[in-house]
Amino acid sequence: MQAAAAIVATVGTGLNWYSLFVEDRLAVDQILGADEDSTQLRAARRQQLRQTMRQLRLALRPDLHQAYSAAIAGHLRALPQPQVAAFCWPIEQEPDVRAAIAHWCATGSRAALPVVVAPASPLAFRAWTPATPLTPDRYGIPTPAAGDWLQPDLLLLPLNAFDGAGYRLGYGGGFFDRTLATLKPRPVAVGVGFEINRVDSIEPEAHDERLDWIVTEAGLWQITP
């Protein structure tokens, strides 16, 4: 009941959190009628978890979203100064880390935003400043249409859901997993999310790349092997 009260206090009473956390999960199991360890059932649970966690984030109260984003930006400043910090433009109530980016840029770093060059390819990164013109990409995400291509040594990744082992669920496109598996040297991967999106396990698969750090409004944690 304490967990339930915490969720209601965070997202408000308009969201049926019980349905999100319990009924949806049971529906997946019952409809498929599959073995607990089956690939089909695991994929369905992961997709349901994406949807559930997205709804929770979208329901986050605006005042808390602002406060949590500010706390996250403050925690990020404890990381070593990057040469190139790549971040995602915040959409759908994702944490806004631009205050941390501004701090790093004011002290010598460069910033970059990810660019989708092809649906099944790793991401590329273009330089960004507050004056950089942005245009929506094929997914509606603001992206630089021109500018220098950069290779980040620090990559901030949004978290739809995450667990304490350092694994994340994104939106299902696999872009960040492919990027982390491809970039050499591999950038430091920092998952950025809210505590309401923490779960016991995302049921990681072989292609899921492990994070190096996780940051939420509650703090910054390094993931140990």
Provide the residue ranges of all domains of the chain, joining segments of one domain with +.
2-58, 62-222
Distances (CA, A) of 183 to 141, 150, 179: 22, 12, 6
Quick check: helix, strand or coil at residue 124? strand
Mean pLDDT calculated for residue range 89-98: 97
User: Cβ(93)–Cβ(15) under 8 Å?
Assistant: no
Q: Give the per-residue pLDDT at 135.
A: 93
Task: Please state which of the ranges 38-42, 58-62, 86-90, 164-168 shows the lowest mean pLDDT.
Answer: 38-42
Q: Which superfamily is assigned to 62-222 in CATH?
A: NagB/RpiA/CoA transferase-like (3.40.50.10420)
**Residue 123 scores a pLDDT above 50:** yes
Mean pLDDT estimate for the chain = 87
Q: Give the per-residue pLDDT at 17.
A: 44
| Confidence label for 10 from pLDDT (cuts 50, 70 and 90) | low
Is the pTM above the cut of 0.75? yes
Pairing of strands 110-115, 161-162: unpaired
Mean pLDDT calculated for residue range 193-200: 96
User: Cβ(124)–Cβ(149) under 8 Å?
Assistant: yes
Mean pLDDT calculated for residue range 63-90: 98
Mean pLDDT calculated for residue range 158-173: 93
Q: Give the per-residue pLDDT at 81.
A: 97
- Beta-carbon contacts of 40 under 8 Å, excluding residues fewer than 6 positions away, are 32, 34
**Residue 179 scores a pLDDT above 70:** yes
Task: Please state which of the ranges 60-74, 101-115, 129-143 shows the lowest mean pLDDT.
Answer: 129-143
Q: Give the per-residue pLDDT at 113.
A: 98
| Confidence label for 21 from pLDDT (cuts 50, 70 and 90) | very low
| Confidence label for 174 from pLDDT (cuts 50, 70 and 90) | confident
Q: Give the per-residue pLDDT at 218.
A: 98
Rounded to whole angstroms, the Cα distance separating 88 from 206 reads 24
Structure tokens at 59: 């329901």
Question: How many other CB atoms are there within 10 angstroms of residue 174's CB atom?
Answer: 16
Q: Which helix (H) or strand (E) holds 219?
A: strand 219-222
**Residue 80 scores a pLDDT above 60:** yes
Q: Give the per-residue pLDDT at 138.
A: 87
Which residues on adjacent β-strands are paired with residue 215? Answer: 192, 220
Mean pLDDT calculated for residue range 137-142: 90
Q: Give the per-residue pLDDT at 33.
A: 47
Q: Higher pLDDT residue, 204 or 12?
A: 204
- Beta-carbon contacts of 101 under 8 Å, excluding residues fewer than 6 positions away, are 85, 87, 111
